[in-house]
Amino acid sequence: MSSRIENQFTVQFWGVRGSIPSPGLHTVRYGGNTPCVEMQVGGKRLIFDGGTGLHVLGQSLLRQMPIEAHIFFTHSHWDHVQGFPFFSPGFVRGNDFHIYGAIAPDGSTVEQRLNDQMLHPNFPVPLQIMQANLDFYNVKAGKPIKINDIIVETAPLNHPGEAVGYRVNWRDGAAVYITDTEHFPDRLDENVMWLARNADILIYDSTYTDEEYHSPKSPKIGWGHSTWQEAVKIAKAANVKTLVIFHHDPAHDDEFLDRVGQEAAVQFPGAIMARETMQLQVPISMPLSEPIPVSEFSA
Ligand SMILES: [Zn+2]
Ligand SMILES: [Zn+2]
């Protein structure tokens, strides 16, 4: 198998925490940055969400400029956009970013919402100061997006203010990014099941445990998030290979997440916990037209 970047499909985690950045001694192993996932797909760079993890990714991209990337937003709750004003490559002329997001129920575009969070008095530097080339696209959940030979499928999720789930298909591999979403009490969410079908990697909103979700004292029903137990159900029903438990609750420390990981792996051996810096490979078959490298011929 060639190791050239054009033949690779990788997934890297830069922020895995939900709701609010959670740095500290007790979250140091899984990480405290809010959602940002990078996929390198056949030489193209796709970025999902712009939580504070996007700032960390941006710092590493400064060494690789000029950069072209496609940035997909699930929605614009703070934990998914807060890293954008601190995304350093966005301020550098010569970089090129294609930015995708759905129109919100209030009618605002992703461009307007990213712009709004950078307005005085919330932030000193307006979006117009960003010197990179920024192109904005309105996503229609349900309609696919094509980037060369990459197909990004989309579907609406069940979240206050709405969110979009994404499935990246390239050659015979698929990686799926589903956050933030709440499951239904009586059935598996058909949009989630459709996106997750036979995926190599499913990244899923597992903010709570079932016990927390149904806790009689402080139930989390209606808060727009799901549980790791639901993630396991979906992964099994959709024939997923690797399930990544994601969007960790800020109250869950490293020891707690260790236990979730152990319990989840018992119920579904392909389950792993999202952790900052973790990198996964989507296995890809070589296309038939690709010549076999000479070194693989042996006597
Ligand atoms: Zn979130
Ligand atoms: Zn949200």
Per-residue pLDDT of the chain (299 residues; tens, 9 = 90+): 456 788 999 999 999 999 999 999 999 999 999 999 999 999 999 999 999 999 999 999 999 999 999 999 999 999 999 999 999 999 999 999 999 999 999 999 999 999 999 999 999 999 999 999 999 999 999 999 999 999 999 999 999 999 999 999 999 999 999 999 999 999 999 999 999 999 999 999 999 999 999 999 999 999 999 999 999 999 999 999 999 999 999 999 999 999 999 999 999 999 999 999 999 999 998 665 655 555 544 44
Q: Within 13 Å and on the Cβ side, how many CA atoms surround 225? A: 23
Joined tokens for residue 282:
């989507």
Is the residue at 135 inside a domain?
yes
- Whole-number pLDDT of residue 144: 98
Is the residue at 239 inside a domain?
yes
* DSSP E strand stretches across 111-180: 133-139, 145-147, 150-157, 163-170, 173-178
CATH code assigned at 187: 3.60.15.10
- Distance (angstroms) between ligand 2 centre and the Cα of 212 equals 18
Rg, C-alpha atoms of the chain: 19
In contact, 66 and 96? CB cutoff 8 Å:
yes
Q: How many domains does the chain have?
A: 1
- E strand or H helix at 236: helix 228-237
State pTM to two decimals.
0.94
- Ligand minimally distant from the alpha carbon of residue 75: 2
Residue environment code for 139-148, b if the CB has 16+ CB neighbours within 10 A, otherwise e = bebeeebebe
Q: Which domain holds residue 131?
A: 5-284
Q: Would strands 96-102 and 68-72 be described as parallel, antiparallel, or unpaired?
A: parallel
- Whole-number pLDDT of residue 287: 65
- Distance (angstroms) between ligand 1 centre and the Cα of 101 equals 15
Is the residue at 63 inside a domain?
yes
pLDDT for 252-261, tens place per residue? 999 999 999 9
Joined tokens for residue 214:
């149904």
pLDDT for 45-103, tens place per residue? 999 999 999 999 999 999 999 999 999 999 999 999 999 999 999 999 999 999 999 99
DSSP states of 28-72: TTT--PPPEEEEEETTEEEEE--STHHHHHHHHHGGG-S-EEEEE
By C-alpha distance, which of 171, 179, 208, 210 is closest to 195? 179
- Whole-number pLDDT of residue 1: 47
Residues at Cβ < 5 Å from ligand 2 ion: 77, 180
Residue environment code for 194-229, b if the CB has 16+ CB neighbours within 10 A, otherwise e = ebbbebbbbbbbbbbbeebbeeeeeebeeebbbbbb
- Distance (angstroms) between ligand 2 centre and the Cα of 138 equals 18
- Ligand minimally distant from the alpha carbon of residue 224: 2
Is the residue at 265 inside a domain?
yes
Is the residue at 279 inside a domain?
yes
By C-alpha distance, which of 214, 250, 208, 215 is closest to 229? 208
Is the residue at 57 inside a domain?
yes
- Whole-number pLDDT of residue 4: 77
Give the single-character DSSP code of 92.
S
- Ligand minimally distant from the alpha carbon of residue 49: 1
- Whole-number pLDDT of residue 298: 44
Is the residue at 295 inside a domain?
no
Is the residue at 151 inside a domain?
yes
Sequence letter at residue 224: G
